[in-house]
Amino acid sequence: MATGTILQKAIDLVTKATEEDRNKNYDEALKYYEHAVEYFLHSIKYEAQGERAKESIRQKCQQYLDRAEKLKAYLKKGKKKPVAAGDEGTKEEKKSDSGDSDTDSDPEKKKLQSRLEGAIIIERPNVKWSDVAGLDLAKEALKEAVILPIKFPHLFTGKRIPWKGILLFGPPGTGKSYLAKAVATEANNSNFLSVSSSDLVSKWLGESEKLVKNLFELARQRKPSIIFIDEVDSLCSSRSDNESESARRIKTEFLVQMQGVGNDNDGILVLGATNIPWVLDAAIRRRFEKRIYISLPEEHARATMFKLHLGDTPHTLTEDDFKQLASLTEGYSGADIGIIVRDALMQPVRLVQTATHFKHVRGPSPKDRNVIVDDLLTPCSPGDPDAIEMNWLEVESDKLCEPLVTMKYMLKSLSTTRPTVNEEDMVKLEKFKEDFGQEG
Ligand SMILES: Nc1ncnc2c1ncn2[C@@H]1O[C@H](COP(=O)(O)OP(=O)(O)OP(=O)(O)O)[C@@H](O)[C@H]1O
Ligand SMILES: [Mg+2]
């Protein structure tokens, strides 16, 4: 990018932000401010020449961030007018959240903190236990760790303590992240803090471990809570001599926070997911007391997955067809099956696009499924007695009756989709399971 373009973009964004701010569109303004700050920081990093230029950009950033914080606080409360610039109101909150104030003046730091707060999922994803096919043991273990202790606290007194750390490991696309979403949905009495490793890694020395600390503090304040760290391997791989100082610090902080002196982790569950568990540091591994293997789906689970992925799309598949599909997809992961089904779902659309002849049929109107109409059009072969020569552009939008999804389409997609998981990784995962894990 040419010099100055990032800065220009940042300035444009900030102009928009102040405009929206003035017009009282605080939602929009906040978005623009945050965006702009990101660009400013980029320009400091890659463009700005000389310390003085950098310093002045930094100061500007600080102002915009302060304003953004206020807008955020205002939007959260949803009633009070945003306080005028210069008011100290929101600073107090910040401090109690972060637990350290020495770097308050660093815009990047503030940004990361707000990002950490943003990582808390407030809107719950809508994935139920029943949406996850198979994985019964994993589901049981998660219920035991998450739902039961909250519902029946008296069961978990004395020596019977709930699990504090659960690691989900297995080949890619088998539903580890998906299962975590189900936990977030179903455990609706606890706070679900979902963070990815990249939320926690910062380029500033000493900042990453503070973020880890903040994360756990946040969880303690809002307990019962669940901290979910996806792809935990990138954060906690084994300590070696040549790793960077900051990576080591993150790990150390993690070890201390998860099970250290003076840290009360009652009511906090750390849930991790990874597909390369063998790179995890041994001490981290130990802190995940339960390590559950999320394997490739069994035949039965695969059949369920085909059904789940089809959802309520109109189709002609029978129970036997699902069984046949399941038996043909040995070695496919849940994500692979998702792709097969999506491809199959697209084929009726392709047929509509390429058809040269249509015919009239009777069926539910696309506008209102409860109304049956006679004049729908569906693709047909040129040899059909009712065939009318036309293409899809001539079909009115509320007159199309799309062909149903059939077994033929499924088999066709299946023949062109290969499984993504390779043998080599499976061997390593099996080995890890033998050594450290349990079946899920
Ligand atoms: N057991 C399952 N039941 C239903 N859907 C599944 C299942 N497993 C996988 N899927 C489908 O596959 C998609 C991908 O799964 P997910 O993102 O959870 O994979 P993952 O195990 O986290 O993979 P990675 O290790 O690569 O992160 C999901 O969005 C879901 O649609
Ligand atoms: Mg995942």
> Which letter does DSSP use for residue 290 in this model?
E
Q: Which ligand is nearest to the CA of 338?
A: 1
Helix/strand/coil for 156: helix
- Count how many Cα atoms sit within 13 Å of the Cα of residue 157 in the half-sphere of its side chain: 5
Whether 342 contacts 172, CB under 8 Å? no
What pLDDT was estimated at residue 167?
92
What pLDDT was estimated at residue 327?
92
Work out the angle at residue 440's Cα, subtended by the Cα atoms of residues 269 and 127, and round it to the nearest 5 degrees. 65
Handedness of CA 47, 51, 53, 56 (dihedral sign): positive
> Which letter does DSSP use for residue 361 in this model?
E
* Among candidate residues 358, 379, 376, 380, the one with its CA nearest the CA of residue 366: 376
Whether 358 contacts 399, CB under 8 Å? no
Instruction: Quote the ligand 2 centre to 347 CA distance (angstroms).
Output: 28
Instruction: Quote the ligand 2 centre to 317 CA distance (angstroms).
Output: 30
Instruction: Quote the ligand 1 centre to 307 CA distance (angstroms).
Output: 15
- What is the residue-level pLDDT of the chain in tens, covering all 440 positions? 454 678 888 888 888 888 888 888 888 888 888 888 888 887 777 776 777 777 778 878 888 888 888 888 888 776 544 444 444 333 333 334 444 444 445 666 566 556 666 655 555 678 889 999 988 888 988 888 888 888 888 888 888 888 889 999 999 999 998 998 898 888 877 888 888 777 676 656 566 777 788 888 888 887 788 888 888 887 776 666 666 677 778 888 888 888 766 677 788 889 999 988 888 888 888 889 889 999 899 999 999 999 999 988 888 889 999 999 999 999 899 999 999 999 999 998 888 899 999 999 888 888 888 888 888 899 988 998 888 998 888 888 888 888 888 899 999 999 998 888 888 888 888 888 888 877 76
The residue whose C-alpha atom lies closest to atom 18 belonging to ligand 1 is 175
Report yes or no on whether pTM surpasses 0.75. no
For ligand 1, mutation pick of 131, 174, 302, 307 (most atoms within 8 Å of CB):
174
Ligand 1 pocket residues where CB is under 6 Å: 132-135, 172-178, 273, 275, 297, 305, 308, 334-335, 338
Return the ligand 1 atom nearest residue 133 CA: 3
Return the ligand 1 atom nearest residue 135 CA: 1
What pLDDT was estimated at residue 202?
61
For ligand 1, mutation pick of 126, 131, 177, 232 (most atoms within 8 Å of CB):
177
Q: Which ligand is nearest to the CA of 175?
A: 1
What pLDDT was estimated at residue 121?
55
Instruction: Quote the ligand 1 centre to 195 CA distance (angstroms).
Output: 18
Count the residues in the chain: 440
In degrees to the nearest 10, what's the CA dihedral of 40, 235, 199, 99?
Answer: -100
Share in percent of the chain as helix, strand, coil (round to 5): 55, 10, 35
